[in-house]
Amino acid sequence: MPLAISRRNIFGWKMGQVKLFLDYIRQYVELTGEEEEILLSKVRARNFLKGQYIVQNGDVCRYENFVLAGCLKTFYIDNEGQEHILMFAIENWWIADLGSFISQTPADLNVQCVENCELVQIHYNDLQALYLDIPKLERFFRIIIQKAFVAAQKRIVNNFTLSAVDRYQQFREQYPLIEQRVPQYMIASYLGITKEFLSKIRNQLSTPKD
């Protein structure tokens, strides 16, 4: 089925971006050509530079963000000003402060680009309209968020039950692409350990045993 994209949407989008985004959605729900047009008319592709913020704590998170290219981190800043990384996101992941987004209240979290990024952004109001126009998107986001919830619960279990070494090894196995792309101090923050301790773990793991 050929892609029917109205003229207004091509503006600001590269064809490859459109394909990536729709291919991803099609893994979960089948949209008609008309529904794809409606969807594309309500979302925008936008580029961000490394270091730019998508969400800053205290601001309301207005967009759900799908990663076409790049890497981002979600983090919390504690009362001592220390950064705690909650999650990373790379290609084909969604990222936002969901608590802020669904309630449209100020965010507790920050979302920042770790690399230059290409994102698909859906504004809160547009998403509410899309849910009504394309009810299949309810299913799509229901499935996506279920997976995110399961991953978050697994993380709670791991933080309770695994040693730092085991958490690091599991992170490397589960997210090999992320491990290669983000600096070690961010991985340490994600694991809840100091970068010195992570460095020690890495040395231990790379030293061959007798």
Q: Does 1 bind a copy of itself (CB under 8 A)?
A: no
- Shortest spacing between CB 198 and a copy of itself, in angstroms: 15
Residue 42 or 46: which CB sits closer to a copy of itself? 42
Which residue bears the tokens 């290609």? 91
Long-range (24+ apart) CB contacts under 8 A made by 145-154 are 145/98, 148/94
Q: Does 58 bind a copy of itself (CB under 8 A)?
A: no
Residue 10 or 59: which CB sits closer to a copy of itself? 59
- Terminal CA-to-CA distance of the chain, rounded, Å? 60
Q: Does 98 bind a copy of itself (CB under 8 A)?
A: yes
Return the residues of window 65-84 that contact a copy of itself according to CB under 8 A: 76, 78-79, 82, 84
Q: Does 184 bind a copy of itself (CB under 8 A)?
A: no
CA distance 68 to 62: 19
Q: Taken in order 1, 14, 142, 170, is the CA torsion positive or negative?
A: positive
SS3 53: strand
Q: Does 53 bind a copy of itself (CB under 8 A)?
A: no
Q: Does 104 bind a copy of itself (CB under 8 A)?
A: no
Locate 133 and state its tokens.
């126009």
Collect all residues with Cβ–Cβ distance below 8 Å to 145 and sequence separation of at least 6: 98
Residues 106-125, mask of contacts with a copy of itself (x by CB under 8 A): --xx----------------
Return the residues of window 118-177 that contact a copy of itself according to CB under 8 A: 131, 135, 138-139, 141-143, 145-150, 152-157, 159-161
CA nearest 50: which of 118, 109, 123, 107? Answer: 118
Site residues, a copy of itself (CB under 8 A): 76, 78-79, 82, 84, 86, 98-99, 102, 108-109, 131, 135, 138-139, 141-143, 145-150, 152-157, 159-161, 192
